[in-house]
Every structure is written in C-alpha cells, then in structure tokens.
Structure 1
Amino acid sequence: MATITFDAHKFVRKLQEAGFDQKQAEGLTEAMRAAIEESELVTKKDLQIELAPIKADLNLLKWMMGALIALAIANFSKQFL
C-alpha cells in the first residue's frame, strides 16, 4: 500500500491563516489525518499485479483470433483455387 506524508503543522497553520481558530484547525487536522490513515490507496504497481493475469488472457485471445482468421482465410481461398 502507498503512504501519504501529511504535514499536520503546515495544515493547521494554513487553516489558521484562512480564519479557523486553534481548536477548529487542530480538530479538522486530526480528522484529516485519521481519514488518510484509514484510506487504502492503490499504486500503479498494485494495479499491474492485479491486471497481469487479464493481460496474459488478452494476449492468448489475440493469438487464438489470429489463428482462427488465418484458418478462415485459408478455407475461403481453398474454395476458389
């Protein structure tokens, strides 16, 4: 799983600059930190691992379709030669 770096001090400071008082800023910061910790982020590597079997199946299907088309063309051309 991926992790996010969360600068709580900077977040509190920005909230205070926007007009939040100290208690509000700290409460919202704690809520954000908890939400980030509970979230399950998917990375590109996670997706590649999950999608690898599907990619392999698609490659197999491409080869099978190519072989079927080649057989169909051979069959069709055999009728006219």
Structure 2
Amino acid sequence: MTTITFDTLKFVRRLKAAGVSEKHAEAEAEALAEVFSETLDTQLATKTDIARLEGKLKLIKWMLGLVIGGISALILKTFF
C-alpha cells in the first residue's frame, strides 16, 4: 500500500485561521485524507504491477517474433 504524508493538523489550523469553524475544518481534513488514501490505492502502479506488465510485454514480443518468423517462412517457401 502506498502512503502519502498529509498533515491534517496543519490543514485544520490553516482552515481555522481562514475563518472556518473547527468542526468543519476537521471534517474536511478527514475527508481529504480519505480521498488521498483511496486514490493512491487505486491509481498508482506498484512495483508488482510494473513487473507483471513487463512479463506480459516480454511474452507479447516473443509471440510477435514467432508470428513474423512463420509468415516470413511461408513467403520464402512460396517464392523460392
């Protein structure tokens, strides 16, 4: 799981300084922290995700090479 540093206390203090009530500021800080957490869990690729993608790309390269080799062999057989 990916983490992000979000200082909710500093955020609440900043909102209170701007005239927002303490209760409202705390609710906003909690909601924002939750959104950050959910977004990071679903949107960022982990090292495992990247490793799986690299494995799939390697397999696709091999398959494409075999297909091109087979087509080339058929073309050569046809004309030579």
Q: What TM-score results when the alignment is normalised by the length of structure 1?
A: 0.69
Deviation, 1:67, is: 0.8
Aligned length in residues: 77
Paired AA for residue 64 in structure 1: L
| CA deviation string 1:9-43 (max 9, x = no partner) | 23213333554211110122123334444x22433
Q: Which has the higher contact order (CA 8 A, sep 6+)?
A: 1
Percent sequence identity is 29
Checking the alignment, whether the CA contact within 8 Å between 1:2 and 1:43 is kept in structure 2 is no
Identify unmatched segments of 5+ residues in structure 2.
none
Matching residue's letter, 1:59: K
The alignment's C-alpha RMSD in Å is 2.3
Give, in whole Å, the separation in 2 of the partners of 1:19 and 1:49: 48
Q: Distance in 2 between matches of 1:2 and 1:61?
A: 34
SS in 2 for 1:20: coil
1-side partners of 2:76 and 2:54: how far apart? 33
* Pair 1:56-2:58 in alignment: yes
1:74 is the counterpart of 2:76: yes
TM-score, length-scaled by structure 2: 0.69
Q: Distance in 1 between matches of 2:60 and 2:50?
A: 14
